[in-house]
Every structure is written in C-alpha cells, then in structure tokens.
C-alpha cells in the first residue's frame, strides 16, 4: 500500500498530514499527487468525500514552498463554485501548510473588496476564489494573473450547472499558457470534456469510484409518499419528514436535509423549528454572514439539522454527518450522488433517506439508473399506506392540530419552553409485523415497530384550537408558520382550498 512518505511531499507537509491523523493516501491522492509534483496537468474525476481537496493542496504547498509571491501577482489560483467550498479549501490550506510559510487570500462574494484588495496588494501565494469575484477584482485592475503557475478548477461540473463555464474559460485565457492545471469534476459532461480538451495539456487522468455506487457504508432508503389530498401534500410531507427523523432516534446525531427549491428550504427549516427541532436553513439568497454562522454552528455540533439547497451544500465537508434526508428527489440524478456523499465520509457509516412523491417517480428512476441499484423502499413511519390521519378527510381544524408541535428535539432549548403535547388525533400505528431488513442489503432499517397509544391531550392547550390562540402556541419559536403550516396564519373564508401563496407569511411573500 502506498504511504504518504512515498509521495515526495515536503517534509513539513508530511508532518501536518501526520498531525491530521491520516494514515495513508486515498486513491485520488495516490493517483494525483505524483503527476502534480512532476508539473503535469491532472484531470481528477472524483467527488467530495474522496479526499480530492488534499490531492491538489498537498502538492501545491510542496511546490509553492519554494519562491515568493509578488504584489498583486498570485502564484497559484484555486477556483471554486461556491463561497462555502472556497472557504473550505482555504481551511485545508491552513491545515496542511501550518508548518510552511505561505500567504493566501480568499476572494468570495458577500465580503468587502477592501480587505481582499489589501491581501492581494501584499502578494499571495495562493488565491482561492469564486469565478465572479475573481473577475470583479481583475476588472478593477487590482489583480494580475500573469504569474499564475498552478491553476485549480474544483467541482467543474457544479461550475457548469451554475453557468460559470464562460467565466472559467475567460480566466484560463488570462493566465499564462505555460501554467499547470489541476482540474476536478465529479462527472464528465460533454461540456466539461470540451473544456478539458481545450485547456489541459496531456493530463494524467485519475478516476475514482463514485461513492454512491460503491459506498457500502451508506445505507439508503426511499419512502414512497402519497398525500391524503393534494392540498395537504406539503403539510403531510413535512410531517413524514419529522416521523422519519424520529424513527432514526439517537442514531441521527445530525443531518443535512436537502430540498430542491430555496423556498422549501426556508419552509422546512421553519416548520422543523416550530416543532422544536434544532434546524436552520442555508441557501444562496441568505446573507453571507448568516450562512457562515449557520455552517459554523453545524460543524461545531451546536446545530443539529441543516436544511440546504444543492448549491449551498455542494462540496461542504462536515466530517461527521450521520444522516442525509432528501426531502425531495433531486431533479438532476447527479445531485443525489453529491447529496448522499455528505454522509458516510472518510470511512464512517452514514444513512441517506429520501421522500418520493408520485410526481418524483421519474426522477427516482433516473437516480436508480445512475447509481445502478434499486434504493430499498421504506415502510411509512406514519403507518404505511394507512394515510397519515388523512384517509379520513380531517376537518381543517383537526389537520391544524395534527400539524402542531408534538415535542421538541432541540438540544439547546430548555425543556420548559418546549411546545407541549397536544395532538388530539391518535398517532397512527406502525404495523408490528414490519420486517427488519438486514443492513447488509444497504436498506435503511425501518423504524422500530411500536404500538403507540393515542397521545394524551394536554387540557389547557385545548383552547388552542381556537384560532385566536394559535399564535400564542407557537410564539416560543417566534414563528408564524410556513405557507402550509396551518398552525399559524389560518386564512378563513376560503374553505379547504386556500392557495398556498395566500398562506405565506408577509416575509415569505417578499422572498418568494
């Protein structure tokens, strides 16, 4: 087996690797580091979780340890599709270059130009940037790219999805023809192939197995979900999500919950919070400072549930995520691979659970084709086929009750400000004969069979059924409810067919 010490890395880099606790290089590292150190172009087909960041940072630090940067002329450039990924790459440089004197600057949007200008003016060895912000600096005449010796393009397929390819081509054109290029992509779409053919010179191509097709350590499962009524789908889907989370119990130490649309990211996060789950949203429309705060909290373990869009979460390295919940089946099958790659990292076990509506079945078929396996079907944690309180056409009031907070799972909140138990509707019973598939087959264990008595009604809360008192019930969380969380702003006078947008809060309507 190849050892790090076989790879001709700078001894100070080897020391940092040892301190990071890595025993041996991952396949992408063993494949990419030697040609990179020889000055060759590298085409790495690998996704996050494979150790690809170190596969370019380690040789870069080794190469850059010699020589010094000149003002405004960075010696190397790393392009990342998102701010979070750029920040993460910067952290990797800090970790692996801690015994080497290297300067770096992070050029990302949402941060003032002034600080970034100052850093560039001093001269940097490594410039880590998102394409748009880099070009902004270039256009302001603050940056000269003629001295770039190594250029990295990270997550090129995401750059493609985000429409950055023209920017990337332009940046390639601004750097010297003689530069070395290290190019990484999880997939090789035709457009990516074209770019690599144009800008890479006789690259060493290293392809590592896709985590989703080989990730024996990720248990996968999908719940086929059908709402009792079309107009209840959103509400019931969120309820099912909570039941799936609850069914995982203590095993679920933390999780990323993916939604396809930003609006749903907000709604799901709000709804979870309302039910006492420790959740916060992250997506591209949020302030950078808020995104950073949320992410830091999640990494530090003070936030348990991160509700995310694909773009915001792409490439995030949070080493110990126990679960990924796909609230929606992603519309691009590739995203499934990226999403579930957030869990089961660096050899740990992980669980990936998805909710699939009838509308998503085509997307599910695409995902299964891509990962070349059938994702095991899960039993409905709310009683399998026996519609979540919904077979019986519940009165809007009963529905509101059923959607009301049941109990909190927040770590931080004190128990006395938890929403109290009040559900009037008996909790549907999970079939006791539910078979327990062995985890070997990579299905997710179904929820423990349990027979539950109807939950006790908390007498004082009964008055909450009165609309006038509802907001008080939720005031702990300062949450007036999402568009379908009818515990909040119930619109009266439109029967059961209130269009979703009418039920949006004022803030949500502005965002929408």
Which residues fall within 8 angstroms of residue 426, CB to CB, at 6 or more apart?
453, 454, 455
Name the residue nearer to ligand AMP (CB basis): 54 or 279.
54
3-state secondary structure at position 498: coil
Q: Please, what's the b/e burial string for 370-389 (b: 16 or more CB within 10 A of its CB; e: otherwise)? A: bbeeebbebbbbbbbeebbb
Longest alpha-carbon distance in the chain: 76
Q: How far is the CB of 52 from ligand AMP (least distance, A)?
A: 5
Least Å from the CB of residue 193 to ligand AMP: 22
In the complex, the smallest distance separating the C-beta of residue 27 from ligand AMP, rounded to whole angstroms, is 10
Judged by DSSP in three states, 386 sits in coil
Whichever of 19 and 452 has its CB closer to ligand AMP, that residue is 19
Alpha-carbon separation of residue 164 from 156, 171, 182 (angstroms): 9, 11, 17
Instruction: Answer for the pair 109, 292: CB distance below 8 angstroms, yes or no.
Output: no
CA triplet 81, 82, 86: central angle to 5 degrees?
Answer: 95
Contact residues for ligand AMP (CB under 6 A)?
22, 25-26, 29, 48-54, 317, 319, 345-346
Nearer to ligand AMP among residue 2 and residue 224 (C-beta): 2
Report the nearest approach of ligand AMP to the CB of residue 24 (Å).
6
Contacts of 18 (CB under 8 A, 6+ apart): 4
Tell me how far the alpha carbon of residue 309 is from its chain's centroid.
Answer: 7
Q: How far is CA 324 from CA 98, 115, 252, 308, 382, in A?
A: 32, 36, 9, 11, 20
Integer Cα distance of 214 and 208 in angstroms: 10
Nearer to ligand AMP, 29 or 294 (CB): 29
Select 345 or 427, whichever has its Cβ closest to ligand AMP: 345
Nearer to ligand AMP, 249 or 319 (CB): 319
CB of 157 to ligand AMP, least distance (A): 14
Nearer Cβ to ligand AMP, position 22 or 138?
22
Report phi then psi at 70, rounded to 5.
Answer: -105, 155
Nearer to ligand AMP, 319 or 495 (CB): 319
Give the Cα-Cα-Cα angle 339, 345, 346 (nearest 5 degrees).
155
Place of tokens 């130490």: 253
Q: How far is the CB of 220 from ligand AMP (least distance, A)?
A: 20
DSSP class of residue 377? B
Min separation Cβ 332 and ligand AMP, Å: 20
- CB 53 → ligand AMP: shortest distance, Å? 3
Q: Are 208 and 28 in contact (CB under 8 A)?
A: yes
**Residue from 29, 38, 97 nearest 65 by CA:** 97
d(CA 171, CA 165): 10
Which of residues 97 and 263 has its CB atom nearest to ligand AMP in the complex? 97
Q: How far is the CB of 366 from ligand AMP (least distance, A)?
A: 25
Nearer to ligand AMP among residue 201 and residue 253 (C-beta):
253
Nearest distance, CB of residue 57 and ligand AMP, angstroms: 9
């Amino acid at each position: 087996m190849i050892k790090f010490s076989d790879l001709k890395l700078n001894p100070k880099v080897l020391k940092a690797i040892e301190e990071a606790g890595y025993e041996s290089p991952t396949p992408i590292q063993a494949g990419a580091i030697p040609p990179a150190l020889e000055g060759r172009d590298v085409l790495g087909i690998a996704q996050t979780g494979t150790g690809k960041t170190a596969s370019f940072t380690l040789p870069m630090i080794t190469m850059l340890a010699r020589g010094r940067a000149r003002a405004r002329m960075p010696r190397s450039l790393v392009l990342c599709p998102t701010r979070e990924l750029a920040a993460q790459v910067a952290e990797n440089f800090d970790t692996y270059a801690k015994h080497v004197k290297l300067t770096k600057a992070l050029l990302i949007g949402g941060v003032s130009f002034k600080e970034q200008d100052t850093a560039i003016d001093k001269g940097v060895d490594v410039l880590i940037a998102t394409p748009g912000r880099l070009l902004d600096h270039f256009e302001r005449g603050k940056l000269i790219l003629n001295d770039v010796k190594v250029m990295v393009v990270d997550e090129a397929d995401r750059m493609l999805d985000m429409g950055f390819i023209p920017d990337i081509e332009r940046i390639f054109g601004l750097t010297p023809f003689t530069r070395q290029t290290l190019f990484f992509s999880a997939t090789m779409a035709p457009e990516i192939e074209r770019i690599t053919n144009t800008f890479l010179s006789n690259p060493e191509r290293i392809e590592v197995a896709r985590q989703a097709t080989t990730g024996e350590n990720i248990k996968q499962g999908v719940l086929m979900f059908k709402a009792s009524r079309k107009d209840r789908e959103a509400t019931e889907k969120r309820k099912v999500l909570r039941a799936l989370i609850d069914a995982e119990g203590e095993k679920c130490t933390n999780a990323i919950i993916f939604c396809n649309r930003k609006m749903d990211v907000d709604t799901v996060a709000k709804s979870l919070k309302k039910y006492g789950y420790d959740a916060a949203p992250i997506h591209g429309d949020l302030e950078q400072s808020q995104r950073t705060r949320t992410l830091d909290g999640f990494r530090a373990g003070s936030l348990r549930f991160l509700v995310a869009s694909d773009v915001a979460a792409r490439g995030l390295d949070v080493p110990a995520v126990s679960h990924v919940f796909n609230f929606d089946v992603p519309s691009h099958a590739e995203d499934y691979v990226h999403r579930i790659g957030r869990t089961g990292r660096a050899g740990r076990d992980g669980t990936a659970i998805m909710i699939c509506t009838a509308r998503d079945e085509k997307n599910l078929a695409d995902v299964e084709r891509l990962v070349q396996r059938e994702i095991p079907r899960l039993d409905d944690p709310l009683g399998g086929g026996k519609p979540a309180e919904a077979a019986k056409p519940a009165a809007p009031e009963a529905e509101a009750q059923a959607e009301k907070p049941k109990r909190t799972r927040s770590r931080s909140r004190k128990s006395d400000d938890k929403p109290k138990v009040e559900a009037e509707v008996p909790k549907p019973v999970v079939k006791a004969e539910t078979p327990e598939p062995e985890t070997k087959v990579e299905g997710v264990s179904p929820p423990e069979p349990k027979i539950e008595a109807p939950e006790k009604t908390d007498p004082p809360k009964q008055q909450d059924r009165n609309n006038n008192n509802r907001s008080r019930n939720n005031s702990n969380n300062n949450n007036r409810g999402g568009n379908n969380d009818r515990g909040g702003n119930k619109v009266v006078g439109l029967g059961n067919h209130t269009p979703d947008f009418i039920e949006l809060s004022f803030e949500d309507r502005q965002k929408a």
